[in-house]
């Protein structure tokens, strides 16, 4: 049985130079929007992570997830993604267990190994260690939430007779997701038994993951896809499009500066017309009236087996509230038409 569809928003809390609002306003309006999104019936709120970005890009999801959880009762929270090489796994296990208790069992976590060279330099961590740091952190997290003392001896971490508390609310801990940009990443997600965050072509991510897992009926596939629902895209979309071009340019700059990912620039970057649909690219938007959004998203979801889809809640430099009308239309006019069509 295919998991039910879930929809939500994603935030990165950015305030570029020349923004129309301040950083405290970004945080304040974002939390207001999260409450609004739950009232609209949206299921999810995800947070992203990057470090040492001039616009204040969110470096730590833990405090904002705690604040958001305290203002909601039903919405589930996760990350796309938490950069595991920069987190000590025991501290992360404790933080996530606390978040799971604050939210009463509504926490999940999407993880990845990172790619931005300046971040590894900033934390004084060799980028060559990112795979081992990520894989060992995943092993430690799964052991830490087992409800008993554990031992672990790896290349990067060693623990003896360690009991992590408090216990999370969810048995086995918050559900884990792994990002994948390649078959190696997809197979890693399969090996660790996690849900999947594909960040590359379906043939390189979803297909090898499914092949490695076999039965994916209890697994989920999550995607960031900007959605802007409007009856007048020529007038209402342009201010958001300008902010999204800024978002795109920052990401492309990070990728170009990272030796290991130079080959992915072409697949991750988007044209100046960011409305052009490119499957599985988190920088691309679906823009148009409800009928257009339903048709495009239905094809995206069904052709890729997407179970979780979140849209950007706050374009960089703009007040998050500029998205609220679109979010209302998304929840009222688009999502109800997607669920019966896709879940039949």
Domain count, the chain: 1
Does any domain span residue 53? yes
Does any domain span residue 71? yes
Does any domain span residue 69? yes
Summarize the chain as % helix, strand, coil (round to 5): 45, 15, 35
Sort 171 into a burial class: Cβ within 10 Å, 0-12 / 13-18 / 19+: exposed
| Alpha carbon of residue 20 to chain centroid | 25
Does any domain span residue 208? yes
- In the structure, what pLDDT confidence band is assigned to residue 276 with cuts at 50, 70 and 90? very low
- In the structure, what pLDDT confidence band is assigned to residue 269 with cuts at 50, 70 and 90? very low
Does any domain span residue 241? yes
Does any domain span residue 190? yes
Average pLDDT over all residues of the chain: 92
For 228-263, write each residue's pLDDT tens digit.
Answer: 999 999 899 999 999 999 999 998 888 888 755 444
Looking at beta carbons, which pairs linking 328-331 to residues 24 or more positions away fall under 8 Å? Answer: 328/40, 329/229, 329/230, 329/290, 330/7, 330/227, 330/229, 330/293, 331/7, 331/37, 331/40, 331/41, 331/42
For residue 116, the model assigns a pLDDT of 95
Question: Quick check: helix, strand or coil at residue 6?
Answer: strand
- The full length of the chain comes to 344
For 173-228, write each residue's pLDDT tens digit.
Answer: 999 999 999 999 999 999 999 999 999 899 999 999 999 999 999 999 999 999 99
Query: Containing domain of residue 306, as a range?
Result: 6-119+166-343
Does any domain span residue 14? yes
Please name the residues in contact with 83: beta carbons below 8 A apart, sequence gap of 6 or more.
49, 50, 51, 111, 112, 113, 114, 119
CA proximity to 199, closest of 214, 217, 183, 210 = 183
Question: What is the pTM for the complete model shown?
Answer: 0.93
For 134-185, write each residue's pLDDT tens digit.
Answer: 999 999 999 999 999 999 999 999 999 999 999 999 999 999 999 999 999 9
For 24-80, write each residue's pLDDT tens digit.
Answer: 999 999 999 999 999 999 999 999 999 999 999 999 999 999 999 999 999 999 999
Q: Which CATH number fits the domain that encloses residue 292?
A: 3.20.20.30
pLDDT at 98 > cutoff 90: yes
- In the structure, what pLDDT confidence band is assigned to residue 273 with cuts at 50, 70 and 90? very low
Does any domain span residue 189? yes
């Amino acid at each position: 049985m295919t998991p039910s569809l879930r929809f939500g928003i994603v935030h990165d809390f950015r305030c570029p130079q020349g923004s129309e609002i301040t950083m405290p306003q970004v945080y304040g309006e974002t939390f207001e929007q999260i409450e609004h999104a739950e009232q609209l019936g949206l299921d999810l709120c995800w947070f992203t992570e990057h470090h040492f970005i001039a616009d204040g890009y969110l470096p730590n999801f833990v405090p904002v997830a705690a604040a958001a959880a305290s203002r909601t009762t039903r919405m589930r929270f996760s990350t796309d993604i938490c950069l595991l090489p920069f987190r000590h796994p025991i501290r992360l296990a404790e933080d996530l267990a606390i978040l799971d208790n604050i939210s009463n069992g509504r926490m999940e976590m999407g993880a990845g190994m990172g790619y931005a060279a300046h971040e590894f330099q900033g934390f004084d961590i060799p980028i060559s260690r990112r795979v081992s740091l990520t894989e060992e952190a995943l092993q430690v997290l799964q052991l830490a939430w087992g409800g008993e003392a554990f031992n672990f001896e790896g290349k990067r971490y060693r623990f003896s007779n360690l009991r992590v508390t408090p216990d999370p609310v969810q048995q086995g801990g918050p559900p884990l997701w792994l990002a994948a940009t390649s078959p190696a990443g997809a197979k890693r997600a399969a090996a660790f038994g996690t849900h999947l965050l594909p960040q590359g072509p379906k043939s390189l991510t979803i297909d090898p993951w499914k092949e490695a897992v076999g039965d994916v009926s209890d697994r989920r596939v999550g995607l960031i896809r900007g959605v802007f629902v409007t009856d007048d895209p020529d007038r209402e979309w342009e201010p958001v499009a300008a902010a999204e071009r800024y978002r795109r340019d920052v990401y492309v700059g990070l990728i170009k500066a990272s030796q290991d990912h130079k080959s992915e620039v072409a697949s991750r970057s988007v044209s100046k017309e960011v409305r052009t649909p490119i499957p599985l690219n988190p920088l691309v938007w679906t823009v148009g009236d409800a009928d257009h959004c339903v048709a495009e998203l239905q094809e995206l979801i069904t052709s890729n087996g997407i179970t979780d889809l979140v849209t950007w809640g706050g374009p960089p430099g703009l007040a998050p509230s500029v998205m609220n009308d679109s979010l209302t239309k998304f929840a009222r006019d688009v999502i109800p038409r997607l669920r019966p069509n896709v879940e039949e």
